Structure 1
Amino acid sequence: MSPSARTTTRRLALFLLLPTLAGCSSLKESGAGIAGGVGGALVAQKAELLKPEFLGGALIAYAIYDPLAPTWEINATKLDEDRVRFDLRMKALITGGDGEARQIFLRNARQLAEGQGAAGFDIVRFEEGIDSTRPFAHRFASGEIRLVRSRIWPTL
């Protein structure tokens, strides 16, 4: 191939490549997840992490950790017409969560009060702590509320 033909071919290749690169730079968000997944799969394949024993261990860890499960299990028990007890229990394998129980307790109490048509609620008691069970410790919280009816419109 002559030198002028090579130069023309290089210019044509560069001319065709520039719009492609410009298009890729404008789509940073949409392709990043796919590229990361493909890159991760290639690295795992090169490092021989796709062997059955590694995959089995990953599946067991996923089943124990279960990242899609809700962080808190909430049980509401109606004690009488105006009192409700909430028992909250955090899943075992999670980091953090300090102060989270009170927020979740208040949110659920507010939703219950609004759903029952109450004007508000009083917190009768609230406690939280750590239950040191085997093999993993669990955060827990327990609280009781009293629903408050409207004094202005008692029939509402």
Structure 2
Amino acid sequence: YGIDWVEQPTTLLSVTALRQVREAVHVPVAADQAVHTPADVYDVVRQRAADAVVLSPHEAGGLLAFRKAAAIAEAGGVPVCLHGQSVSGITDAAQHHLGLSTPNLTDGNQIMHQLLAEDLVDSPDLTPQRGKLGLPEAPGFGVELDRDAVARAAERYRREGRP
């Protein structure tokens, strides 16, 4: 059926169970909830428990921790899928930079800012074209903020305690 992989078919608490499933089936297995930190990725790679790892910088502990986890996976010959979080276009731009700089990135990556009622990014348009985002041309994360949207979010936060 052309299945890329089955994602986290076991409890996140047992890397051994994940390895046993991988050894027993002919469909690739991806670790997701079992891999948050670089140490988690090391454990999965060391045990050869997955054919791919699904990582999020939010769960890994930030951009640098994601890079470390991805490098560990790369050293073990394991590709990385970049898991998205619906936080903001700023987050998606940062994750896009991570993806562009991760040599062992595979397909199936996510960006999710379009699920938000309102975003803080004015430009560029971070909507994938034909399933892809282009190379950023502006400095930094390559985004310009919508200052009115930032002011509205700040007011909501002051009023409600959430953006």
TM-score (norm 1): 0.25
User: Comparing both structures, which one devotes a greater share of its residues to helix?
Assistant: 1
- Rg larger in structure: 1
Higher RCO (Cα < 8 Å, 6 or more apart): 1
